[in-house]
Amino acid sequence: MTSLRNITRSVSSRGWQLPAAFLGSNAIRVHPRNESLFLPATSKRNKVTCGRVSRRAPSVLHMTTSSSSSPRHTTDHRLAALREELRKQEVQAMIIPTRDPHFSEYAPPCYAYRNFISNFTGSAGTAVVTLDGAFLWTDGRYFLQAENELDSNWTLMKAGLPETPSIHEFVVEILPKGSAVGVDPFLHSIDFVKKFEEVAAEEEIRLVHLDCNPVELVWGSDRPPKPNGEVRVHDIQYSGKSITEKLEPLREAMEEKDCSHILLSMLDEVCWLYNIRGTDIPHNPVVLSYALVSKETSRLYVNQSQLTSDVLKYLSSSGVEVHPYEKIKGHLRDVACREETVWIDPNSTSIALKEALGDFAVAEATPVKFAKACKNEAELQGMREAHIRDGIALSSFLCWLEDYVNTNEQTISEFDAAVKLREFRAKQSGFLDVSFPTIAGFGPNGAIIHYNPSQNECGEISNKKVFLLDSGGQYVDGTTDVTRTMHLGATPTDHEKECFTRVLQGHIGIDTAVYPEDTTGFMLDALARVPLWSIGLDYRHGTGHGVGACLNVHEGPHSISPRISSNYAGLKAGMIVSNEPGYYEDGHFGIRIENLLYVVKKQTAHHFGGKDYLGFKRLTYVPIDASMINWSLLSTAEVRWMNQYHQNVWDTLSPRMQAGRYKDWLWEKTRPVQAGQLQPASQESVGVTPASA
């Protein structure tokens, strides 16, 4: 067992403060050289999280453990059982990511190892469990959620803050020389192992690839079964290209790379290449599978019981061989034995599969993710159509919700509102599912960036506070993701209006940007933040992410973000990206405005450097709440943008809506603002009558 004395000495040498939860005490001592420290997360009633102690603070902070009345199960027994398994396997720590073997953002329930061991349900985060402590790294989107969900056994490590060490650095520092760190080799990437070994080499910390995941052993018979949903063909009218048409440029790229095979592990890449869709991951229309393509063959590794006769016939007609899912590792060994080289993506290929290939692997980003990201015209048309239907559904729901809470000042739970919104979407043709769990955050819950209301734990929506609604749908022809922030009745405060208006200005800044081809999202991100920066505000998440076409709501390789590492891909025509700046005040409100955009070529007077210049076109058509705007802060151009956007919303949605309350509401919410006015014009002043008149 690791000595606490040795661990304390090791951490202190770097100036990091060892968390109290790790010491098994309610006291934290502040290192004189670095006042930053990590405090243990506790229950909702007694939250303590990462903070900073001033030089005048006392050297010891006394802290309160979690409330025994917390409605969640504590992790005491699970952690004790896991540590017993770690001792049996002779490792001093284990790193538990939020992943399945395909590195999906949203893993099937059977692979939710981190959720099970920590109680944290966010879609991003990594747990580290030692024989003495438990730590959870997550980013700024989930700080408040983690504070709510972690019990006092856990220490929240706020990833992305300058005082927070990386997982690699922290693990190496707290463990003595020669320690072993266990990992499930199917859940960690080649890049992860490379970075860890670089950091751990000097301290002789070893990564041990565990044959059996200890968390799985603790989970036992309660672990959910693997998904077994039916696979369907994604029709050519939506995919725009046949399997053969997609394989041809892929094989040309393999020839240039001098690789005989290419392995695809990411589920959306496999489904895109073979024009199939599934239901194995909630809200993501994918199936657990691998693709292995050679110059002559194309293989799909999948649970064959999930394939109907029609799907088998379709794949066979395109020359795709179907093999059992579990055969992939053995087949890769066979390829390596023939000394044939396989192209793999270092960010999405597990170390288990890399080991099967030995030295016969080329680890570089594959061309499939780039081809998938640049939508063809059929995919773009499907996305346009899906967004029109989705806009009608969401606008109709917002009308219903506003009427409901303003009738005798009724309330509705956040959970029930999410259920009702799904009902509105389900009425639209081609609806499959929501594209992610609906974020319906009223008042202070809106400040929890990825808040997920549950039936047993959620707030009540009224007309008294700011309401943030982030939602989306999966349709046969496209995927949507849209956020609107609104006040459903009472007048917003001046501060709420200013914050909303600054977010809107940033949103407009991205929407109207013109830039050279291959500009990265990192270079555009500041356009969304400058209006907030001007008053000393900001937000802790990226501004935009890629979106699939009837695929995952989050996809790469492009994004709009201040993180250079996640912005290595330049923007190209046909890429889809979200535009979602925000602002959040803990305990008060959250604001986010999100549309989906697609990249198009722009006509410019010049072409400096011989480059094409790009801009965006909008896919999302849903009104923006004018009551939340401080119109005096907007420039003439920004007011014009609002009027044009709302005119586009009306022109796009209204022809497909029946006369009645929902259509009248849409007109009311898209009225233009005239010069010199600080509020939308009345119907009479612009010479237009309500839709139902």
Mean pLDDT of each 10-residue bin along the chain, 693 residues long: 34 44 33 30 32 26 30 83 97 95 92 96 93 94 90 94 92 92 95 88 90 96 95 98 98 96 98 98 97 98 97 98 98 97 95 95 94 98 99 99 92 97 99 97 94 91 97 99 95 97 99 96 97 98 97 96 77 98 97 99 93 97 98 96 98 98 98 69 39 34
Domains belonging to the chain, first-starting first, are 4-222 (3.40.350.10), 232-371 (3.40.350.10), 377-686 (3.90.230.10)
If we measure between CA atoms, which residue out of 581, 495, 486, 496 comes closest to residue 539? Answer: 581
Residue 261 has a pLDDT of: 98
Residue 567 has a pLDDT of: 52
State the Cα angle at 301 between 300 and 304, rounded to 5°: 100
Q: Cβ(329)–Cβ(354) under 8 Å?
A: no
HSE (side-chain half, CA atoms, 13 Å) at 556: 21
CA distances from 259 to 105, 111, 367, 372, 683 (A): 28, 32, 13, 21, 65
Reported pTM? 0.85
If we measure between CA atoms, which residue out of 613, 605, 607 comes closest to residue 519? Answer: 613
Residue 164 makes CB contacts below 8 A (sequence gap 6+) with 38, 50, 137, 157, 158
Query: Using omega within 30 degrees of 0 as the cis cutoff, is the peptide bond preceding 557 cis?
Result: yes
Q: Cβ(596)–Cβ(387) under 8 Å?
A: yes
Q: Which helix (H) or strand (E) holds 330?
A: helix 328-337
691 φ, ψ to 5°?
Answer: -60, -35
Pairing of strands 320-324, 298-302: parallel
Residue 431 has a pLDDT of: 99
- Please state, in angstroms and rounded to a whole number, the distance separating the CA atoms of residues 355 and 361: 10
- What is the three-class DSSP state of 98? coil
Residue listed under structure tokens 């907007």: 634
Q: Cβ(325)–Cβ(288) under 8 Å?
A: yes
Residue 678 has a pLDDT of: 57
If we measure between CA atoms, which residue out of 638, 665, 639 comes closest to residue 654? Answer: 665
- Please state, in angstroms and rounded to a whole number, the distance separating the CA atoms of residues 620 and 648: 10
Residue 15 makes CB contacts below 8 A (sequence gap 6+) with 31, 33, 34
If we measure between CA atoms, which residue out of 127, 169, 174, 173 comes closest to residue 151? Answer: 127
If we measure between CA atoms, which residue out of 585, 591, 476, 596 comes closest to residue 546? Answer: 596
Name the amino acid, one letter, at 345: D
Residue 573 has a pLDDT of: 97
If we measure between CA atoms, which residue out of 31, 2, 343, 329 comes closest to residue 173? Answer: 2
- Please state, in angstroms and rounded to a whole number, the distance separating the CA atoms of residues 253 and 364: 12
Residue 345 has a pLDDT of: 94
Residue 255, Ramachandran bin (φ over 0: left; ψ between -120 and 50: alpha; else beta): alpha
User: Exposed e or buried b for every residue in 415-454, given b needs 16+ CB within 10 A?
Assistant: bbbbeebbebbeebebbbbbbbbbbbbbbbbbbbbbbbbe
Residue 158 makes CB contacts below 8 A (sequence gap 6+) with 38, 49, 50, 138, 140, 143, 164
CA 660 to chain centre: 37
If we measure between CA atoms, which residue out of 437, 329, 455, 435 comes closest to residue 386? Answer: 435
Tokens representing residue 206 in the block: 């070893």
- Please state, in angstroms and rounded to a whole number, the distance separating the CA atoms of residues 584 and 514: 28
Q: What is the largest CA-CA distance in the chain?
A: 80
User: Exposed e or buried b for every residue in 273-297, given b needs 16+ CB within 10 A?
Assistant: bbbbbbbbbebbbbbbbbbbbbeee
User: Exposed e or buried b for every residue in 504-514, given b needs 16+ CB within 10 A?
Assistant: bbbbbbbbebe
Q: Cβ(477)–Cβ(569) under 8 Å?
A: no
